[in-house]
Amino acid sequence: MIHDHLPAAENSLQPNTPPPLRLAWTIWGLGAMLYLIGFYQRVAPGVMTAELTRDFGLTATALGNLSAFYFYSYVAMQVPTGLLADHWGPRRLLTLGAVVAGLGTLVFALAPDVVWADLGRLMIGGSVAVAFVGMLKLAGHWLPKGQYSLASGMALFCGIIGAVFAGVPLGLLIDTFGWRTVMLVSAAITFLVAMAIWWVVRDDPAEKGYQSHAPVHANDGAAPRDGALAGIRQVFRYRNTWLLYLIPGAVVGSVLTFAGLWGVPYLTTHYGMDKARAAAICSALLVAWAVGGPVFGFLSDRTGRRKPLY
């Protein structure tokens, strides 16, 4: 009941002031939690390859395909995610994404065969795809303009933390409790994140009585005048956006493929390492990536020397 009256109380006290940074970063951070879970789920199969191969009788090709089902739906959801974020708002989108991710993790954990495991991975990938766009939309409304690049870098940091946890810590938990039990706990945590997002997050500071940081011309919830397809065609016409498609695609694809799936089995079979050491090496690659995100985001905000895309 107190929560229900909180926005009204804030509205009467602080109608024209920006939101406190602690509140703004908390709301952004709940969206970041789903992004962290997404990275965790993305690379988790890398430390349970032996268990998955044993339980489902997988070949190397089938194992790679099981991991890839995450990416099939993740890629397919990229354009719809942007449209849904504008139409539904990040609160509803992130909550639904977390709920479906939790359900997908349950399906994966309880899968009797590889078909059900593939379905679980497909559900997880498509649902966590909403996290990054949802986070950035929250940042655009809740955080000052001068902290937007920092928020983008911190988003990568949070994601990589999830990937790092899916290395040595996850491997130790799987060795102790088994992969199915660990995935069931992961599902429960994801459902808790969904509840927290729905309870705390709001699309715009105005809903809590604060002044929004979003530009006054922001097109929230409205369809583009010329339609979604026309907007997509317009984006593709910008040359600089192609650099953002091709360069990160090549770098991210190779790094995550190695660190997230094949790195551990490759190092154990070709260099005779135990699984813990191999996972630690792959985690070191991800840690360096995580540190670089907020550092370069901070430098971008501090120096202002960046070329606009459009």
pLDDT in tens, 37-59: 999 999 899 889 889 999 999 99
What's residue 215's pLDDT?
Answer: 74
Q: What CATH number corresponds to the domain at position 113?
A: 1.20.1250.20
Q: Is residue 281 part of a domain?
A: yes
Q: Which token pair is 274?
A: 């135990």
134, part of any domain? yes
In a domain, 57, yes or no: yes
Q: Could you read off the pLDDT of 134-174 as tens digits, one per residue?
A: 999 999 999 998 888 888 888 888 988 898 898 889 989 99
> Residues 28, 135: contact at Cβ < 8 Å?
yes
Residue 153's region, left for phi above 0, alpha for psi from -120 to 50, else beta, is alpha
At residue 305, the pLDDT reads: 62
Beta strands in 215-289 (DSSP E): none
The pair of structure tokens assigned to 156 is 């990568």
Tokens of 56: 């489902």
Whether 85 is covered by a domain: the verdict is yes
Q: 24 lies in a domain?
A: yes
Exposure class string for 194-218: b at 16+ Cβ within 10 A, else e: bebbbeebbbbbbbbbbebbbeeee
pLDDT in tens, 87-101: 899 999 999 999 999
Reported as a pLDDT band with limits 50, 70 and 90, residue 1 is very low
Residue 122, pLDDT score: 97
**Does residue 221 come out as left (phi exceeding 0), alpha (psi in the -120 to 50 range) or beta?**
left
Distance (Å, whole) CA 139 – CA 148:
6
The answer as to whether 13 is a domain residue is no
Q: What is the pLDDT of residue 186?
A: 98
More confident residue, 258 or 192: 192
Domain ranges, residue 90: 19-207+226-303
**φ and ψ of 269, to 5 deg:** -85, -35
DSSP code of 44? G
Q: What total number of domains does the chain contain?
A: 1
Q: Up-side HSE of residue 57: CA atoms within 13 Å toward CB?
A: 3
Mean pLDDT of 260-282: 83
Per-residue burial over 40-61, b if 16 or more Cβ lie within 10 Å, else e, is: bbbbbbbbbbeebbebbebeee
For residues 52 and 63, the answer to whether their CB atoms sit within 8 Å is yes
In a domain, 84, yes or no: yes
6 found inside a domain: no
